[in-house]
Structure 1
Amino acid sequence: MAFDGLMIHQLCDELKPLLVGGRIDKIFQPERDELTIGIRGLKSSFSLFLSVDASMPYFTLTSSKKENPQEPPMFCMLMRKHLTGGRIQSMTQIGFERVVVIEIESKNEFGDLELKKLIIEIMGKHSNLILTREDYTIIDSIKRITPEMSRVRTILPGLKYAFLPTEKIDFEIASSEVVETLINQAPDEKLQKVFYEHIQGFSPMISKWLCQRLNVDPSITLNQLTTNDHEQLIMLFDELKAPSPQENKGFVYLDSQVQSKIVYFKPDIDKLLTLKSFATLYSAVDAFYSRSNRAHKMHQRTLSLKKNLAQRIERYTTKLAKQTLELEDAENADELRIIGELITANIYMISKGMSRIGVLDYYVDPPVMRTIELDVRLEPSENAQVFFKKYAKLKKAIIELKRQIAETHEQVVYLENVLTMLTNSEDSKIVDEIREELITQGYVKGRVSKKRPKTSKPSFSTFVSTEGYEILVGKSSLQNDYLTTKLASNKDMWLHTKDIPGSHVIIRTNGQTPDEQVLYEAALIAAYYSKAKNSSNVPVDYTLVKNVSKPSGSKPGMVIYIANKTLFVTPDYDVILKLSKKN
């Protein structure tokens, strides 16, 4: 996915008419590398979201709301001090580089109007947000860069901001000049690299697109292009510069699993992927990134917890395998009893000091001769007792091993369920709830927070089917328990993925019988909120709540059920999103 200079150019063209002239009234910093700026425009209000995360830098207008920290970070407080109440004067991209400057006129502490500049740099791990005065004196940045961190450029309060120098061809000049300059600079370079290495704003993705549109081999050199190719290249460059002529301005490309892979302003980037169109580019960017951003941030926040759970699951799985092998050995205990009885039956043939004895094994049909190893230090009867004692010990071990195996299996199932909940979570409050649950269960060290009142009811994910049935989804093991055993009535419908970790799902039936469409939609939700969310033909069991019970002393979220039926569904995020919007 390329958030390149060309897309930033199109995005700025869309945002300028909406933002310029607007007044900043709210500023939040949801994460250490993100900023949300609320802007009251002439006709409506907007939320400008800026992310300079090293692996996912972007900006767009967003309709999504992120949870903000109770105590705003220092950079957020500084931004509020300098920009709140300010009016946006301009929004300018520097050439076709991935740098945008937003000029804001706001009052200083003396009430005088001053021009400030918010500089957005979208440069991978070097992405940054920098606030400067009119003369580019740095007030502060969301990421401070010291001389020890970078030899190229230092970004610290009080220093002068400097744009990074570039030797790439300015894509703002006439397209014919771009082609001519490119041929003069790099005639012997391959097409697959020459565009993005020598022209501002280009990425490998758009370079590949150009080769496809030219219908040429990407491995040929620039000087192998014909005059007709040059003319077509000029037309393609003009096409990239011009505003999009189609009605829809933004496009998200989806794979066969309906996973978003690309967002761009061109509808023909990858013909092997499914295209989803949006009226504006910023809405396409928001749709593409908002979900990925939440998942990415949640992954970062839960990484250590997931690692802890994965290690414990591996440990318990290994333990379970060893216990199973021990049980298999113990279940062969009858062989020891038979040997003891054969020694007893032939004791008249045995004397102390013998190391082995050949006897007729009458426990098999037909009887066969077998050799039994003996302890030369023991009397014949003592040799028999050795085998009888081992037999008695293993018989007791079978009972204990079965108990231990059941306990270890429950641990594995429980931890896999918790890991699935953690992986699917998009809410930091749920992550905190899961962490506290693990602390309470003794899997994680730490203290349980005293801020959350124990009497507070869980906030479930709520959906509404196309026929109006309310569908509730547990977001943690404790929520699953509460949802199934306390909130749901006996006549409600309960769903869960078959033998796959996931959430409990309840259809509130109000005494009615939900039809196949309602069951199908609820099954989609159950499959999506499970470990199999990216799989197809996921089995989902459903039954009435009265058929679900919780064994005494079992782990949170663990239940057993009877009289169930099974549906097979393939999770569809768009369908689930529509059902949630009805809420």
Structure 2
Amino acid sequence: MKYSYLKQWTQEMIGYQAVIESVLLFPELLVLQTKDKKALCIVLSKRDAFIFLQDNFHPPQEGKKIWQKLNNCHLTGISLAENDRLAYLELQQRDIYQQNKKYFLIAELMPPQPNAILTDSELHILDALHKYSYADNPQRQILPGLVYTAPKTSFQPILEEVKSPYPDGSTTCNDYFIHLYYNKLKQEEEAENGQKICTALKKELQKLQKKREKLKQDLTNAEKADFWLACAECLKTNLHNLKTGRESFTAINYLDPALQEIEIPLQKDKSPQENLQSYLKKYHKAKNGLQIITKNLAQTDAEIEKIKNLIAQAEKGELPDSVILPSKPTGHKIVQNAILADKILKLKINDEFQILIGRRAKENDYLTTQLARPYDYWFHCRIYHGAHIVLKCLKKTEPSPQLIELCCNLAAWFSKAKFSTNVPVDYTQIRYVRKPRKSPPGFVTYKNFKSVFATPMSLKEVREKLS
């Protein structure tokens, strides 16, 4: 970002003060949410870096809370270094001993690796988004406990007067930064992610196509089970006539009603007994594997069709929201997530709520640990095995008691106690549901829950009740 634009933005922020409610970290974005329902957004993209203040900030995904020590801090000033693109956010807080504490949040707005560093009043580093030592950067270290030193660059600020209108017609620098982030950087980021996803999916498609070719060959071999058996039987009755070194052998096929002759290929480096064992092994493998190979081939064909549809959707930027993308997109993981997303039952109530039902362990795991958000509600039958039910609160709206009751009834229906009455059901928000490390799929622990006795109700009955 041009130094003159950053300077203009800091001048627009003169006099702005706020109380920090929380600090949230998103990919390439650090957000300071304030108690006046605004958000100070520090863009830390490799393409560009700047800061803007936005009203009613609604992120598309849940951010990670960091630096809780800054909660309830007062933002008292924003300044820009005179020689480089370093923004200093001054924060003050009164501790339990009624003493003032002072922090600096330093935003290094220099691509390709911008950074955000938290220091105390003496510029001792408390934490940073990107930490490194002399092994990573011979010029300086960014590590907790060290005194912060600014980066040494050849940058020379050009102080030019910023005149309105800005390139997009905005009247203020802050509006221009907001427009730049949402209408340029975000679109470029989504396009880049789409290319990565397409590349990963195409690699997975190539793997699946190779797997299919191998399965087809295995299927061809498996369909020769009768031939392998005939070869083995003929060899068994003619072992005394055979010697090592022959490439083929012709004999009467006693398994053929017409008693026609059959030519049996031999491996000349193997003895007649070894050739016999080889044919018996092929026969048993073909006989036992035919059903498995047919099943695997059908499953592979379904995955190939699925991945082709995903590639078409990704190229148009239309991947469904239910397909959660992993932090490092791999074609296999994306496909598996898409398959799980398709298996989850969905009931759209209105623009505010949606009910999702995972009926098997892997579906439950995907639904609860990846698809659900902290403010969504989670339902599960107590004591009995059953499905995970998630009530998606699309606008973070509190559900009514009647809707909670219907979800409890669904949890009772999708359990081993579906034909009982007064089924115990627990429910809580997803933020209180945890999956223990290395636990099997579908296993979770939860707290801060409420228990009710529900009457099992099918999805069809719930749909009729809602309509």
Could you tell me the TM-score, scaled by structure 2's length?
A: 0.47
